[in-house]
Chains A and B, each alone.
Chain A
Amino acid sequence: MSTKHTKAADRFIANKAQEVWHNQTLRFVRDKRDNMAMQLPEWETLRETAHQIKMHTITHLDHYLNEFSMHAEANGVLVHWAKDADEHNQIVYSILQSHGVKKLVKSKSMLTEECHLNPFLIEKGIDVVESDLGERILQLMHKAPSHIVMPAIHLKRQDVGRLFETKLNTEKDNSDPTYLTQAARVHLRQEFLTAGAAMTGANFGVASTGDVVVCTNEGNADMGTALSPLHIISMGMEKVIPDLKSLAVFIRLLARSATGQPVTAYTSHYRKPREGSEMHLVIVDNGRSNMLGNEDHLQTLKCIRCGACMNTCPVYRRSGGYSYTYFIPGPIGINLGMSRSPEKYSDNLSACSLCYSCNNVCPVKIDLADQIYKWRQKLDSFGKADPAKKNLSVGMAFLFKRPVLFQTGLKMAPVINRMPRFFVYNGLNDWGKGREMPHFAIHSFAALWKKGKISGANQKKKNAES
């Protein structure tokens, strides 16, 4: 059975060169992340701590949101509460209207994407300018982001070059990234200087101080908010954390996980409105409180939107962000979509091989693959289950929970290597369709480990003997 995801993935991989490039580029980002993680002996402690802080905060969310909003108000910030996307959009529009704003510059915000704020405001006659370079490129193309941290990751430089030729009057056939970035800098500088309001998202809201923290590499959030007389912040209610000490943990994890940088160039803490200006904060529910009540899927609320689960996902890397039907792709997007509407977004559940790589890189240790597995078990209830895969999934879970059987299974796996291709790719094996089956090693890893053929095991043995 093919889903909307598999069909879209087919179209993506039809362009072999693009598929290879996309896969390698994201793999490279994953490698950079690994490199950063390995430089910190406390990396795993940080992840575990981040997970625990988030679990604590989301299970005391009423308390922390109250504390956060009281501090923000004491700082002179005007706080608004929105139960859903419509309410959020209305609030933003009425703030803009009361200030007579014609042009709004925005820095990247997945929440405003979730609420479809831009089309709403544009229809009301407001000039909305995205200022993150990737977002601006996509806005000029009338396209959506294909990745939550690297929105234009699916585009080639020539695509951007051609776009800027018509939109920004750049030289013909010049697709040098430095040249194009400079052109965008000049163009967006004018937008910053002429905007009536600036809008940002929020990476973190610090309850003990009321600070809103935004991380960028480009400096666009600060350029906008330091110039215009009005700053509007759109923040999902799960973004609150207890205090600055907790913030230290997340800041250490975020950029390392996201892009493999030690930190973003700017980590901005907005506390009070700038002299002579107004600062508004819109705290948004839009389905988040519902997720709190679902123990199986509660952990998605821990997400800090780093994108690491996409970069590592073999399916995302080879099918691209647009192959998913929810606006956030990859493992976290599959789960967020299902939490929003299982009926609408269940096609994305097929975009997972249960390799568990996402669980292992997620800086806040979200049980992404487990959740996908659980959703698959519930597919029946939406009448969407694929009988062949259902059996396979159940079988795999059965094996994963029984290590002895699992190991026997892997020892026998080399048998597959000797099977004629027909048996492996016979159309009955749904996992072989569109996938090259893994070539199983002659000696399983576990066997080699036990035999001491792997250096780590040798080393351990030696240590034990000495």
Chain B
Amino acid sequence: MQSRKEELLERIRTKIRVTCDMPDLLIDSITFPDRVAQFKVMLQAVGGEAIELVQGENMQELICSRFPESKIIASNLPEISFATINPDQVDDPHELAYIDLAIIRGEIGVAENACIWIPQMMKERVVCFIAEYLVVLLERSALVNNMHEAYEQISFHDKEFGVFISGPSKTADIEQALVIGAHGAKGVLVILT
């Protein structure tokens, strides 16, 4: 017997009248003379903040000074020694329910819209969404101009999941009034290294 899949694909075949060609995807797209500056402006516009780590500055001290109230801190990054919970070492994602701060690493930053590409580099990815505040470490050299350049670089074949995050979680569902902190992080700090 024909499967439902075969039946539907066959149905589609009988319906198609015309066929159109795939266009050329080489689009001459916007670039920025100073990607770091553009990224910072865009991140601010979407409710986040980017700061540059200056040489000799201690990353952990910097994070602590920005989030003095955070008690439960989740991270699996080797350079973050003050984390209190490791998303790789929990049995169940629900154990991460009440974290104050999560520190993760981003792979690519996009100047045009402040997106940061975060492939799943931890066992429980909920850490990226459930923390009250999120810190993302990103190398300055990983900044590209636009989404075309970003997708050129993306490959995550062995990963379950990847996400572009641009600033904190937000909603304008009540009377179009912008409110930061809908379900995900209430604040996103990007540290450019």
Contact = CB atoms under 8 A, between A and B. Distances in A.
Interface string A210-253: 00000001111011001100000000010000101111110110
B114 A219 contact: no
A227 B8 contact: no
A292 B27 CA distance: 28
A437 interface: no
Contact of B18 (A81, A246, A283, A295): A295
A222 B113 contact: no
Given A150-B176, A267-B164, A285-B8, A217 B170 contact: yes
Interface in A110-137: 131-134, 137
A325 interface: no
A263 B113 contact: yes
A265 B184 contact: yes
Contacts of B129: 219, 222-223, 226, 266
Interface string B160-193: 1111111111111111110101111100000000
Contact of B29 (A42, A264, A272, A283): A42
B20 A275 contact: no
A181 B182 contact: yes
Interface string B102-142: 00000000001111000000011110111000000000000
A83 B3 CA distance: 12
Q: Is the interface of B mostly helix, strand, loop or mixed?
A: loop
Nearest to B160: A272
B71 interface: no
A97 interface: no
Interface residues of A, number: 93
A59 B147 CA distance: 26
Contact of B183 (A151, A189, A244, A263): A189
Contacts of B16: 59-62, 292-293
Nearest to A40: B30
Interface stretch (B51-59, B72-80, B149-157): B149-157
B94 A151 contact: no
Interface string A449-460: 000000000000
Nearest to A158: B175
A61 B12 contact: yes
B1 interface: no
Contacts of B177: 157, 177-178
A56 interface: yes
Nearest to B174: A177
Nearest to A138: B173
A261 B42 CA distance: 10
Most buried by A among B12, B30, B184: B12
B151 A133 contact: no
B46 A273 contact: no
Nearest to A157: B175
Interface in B1-53: 3-5, 7-23, 25, 27-30, 42, 45-46
A204 B13 CA distance: 21
A417 interface: no
Q: What band does the interface of chain B fall in when counting residues whose beta carbon is under 8 Å from A?
A: 35 or more
A218 to B, nearest CB: 4
Nearest to A180: B174
A41 interface: yes
Contacts of A61: 12, 16
A9 to B, nearest CB: 22
B21 to A, nearest CB: 6
Contacts of A413: none
Most buried by A among B16, B177, B185: B16
A49 B179 CA distance: 34
A285 B12 CA distance: 10
A269 B163 contact: yes
B152 to A, nearest CB: 8
Nearest to A219: B184
A53 B125 contact: no
Nearest to A21: B175
A192 B151 CA distance: 31
Contacts of A28: 176
Given A65-B9, A218-B183, A292-B15, A271 B30 contact: no
A250 to B, nearest CB: 9
A252 B183 contact: no
A269 B161 contact: yes
Nearest to A160: B174
Nearest to A256: B113
A267 B172 CA distance: 18
B161 A49 contact: no
Most buried by B among A45, A193, A262: A262
A251 B20 contact: no
Contacts of B19: 56, 59-60
A251 B147 contact: yes
A248 B8 contact: no
Given A28-B176, A249-B27, 19 more contacts: A25-B175, A41-B30, A49-B23, A53-B25, A153-B176, A177-B179, A218-B182, A222-B128, A223-B130, A244-B154, A252-B147, A262-B42, A262-B166, A268-B161, A272-B159, A290-B15, A292-B17, A293-B16, A293-B17
> Which 5 pairs from chain A and chain B are nearest by CB?
A219-B184, A218-B182, A134-B173, A226-B126, A262-B113
13 contacts: A42-B28, A46-B27, A52-B21, A52-B22, A62-B10, A65-B12, A134-B171, A150-B176, A151-B173, A189-B183, A217-B172, A237-B8, A267-B115
Interface of B: 3-5, 7-23, 25, 27-30, 42, 45-46, 93-94, 97, 112-115, 123-126, 128-130, 146-148, 150-152, 154, 156, 159-177, 179, 181-185
Interface of A: 25, 28-29, 39-42, 45-46, 48-49, 52-53, 55-56, 59-62, 65-66, 69, 79-83, 87, 131-134, 137, 150-153, 155-157, 160, 177-178, 180-182, 184-185, 188-189, 192-193, 217-220, 222-223, 226-227, 237, 242, 244-249, 251-252, 259, 261-275, 283, 285, 289-290, 292-293, 295
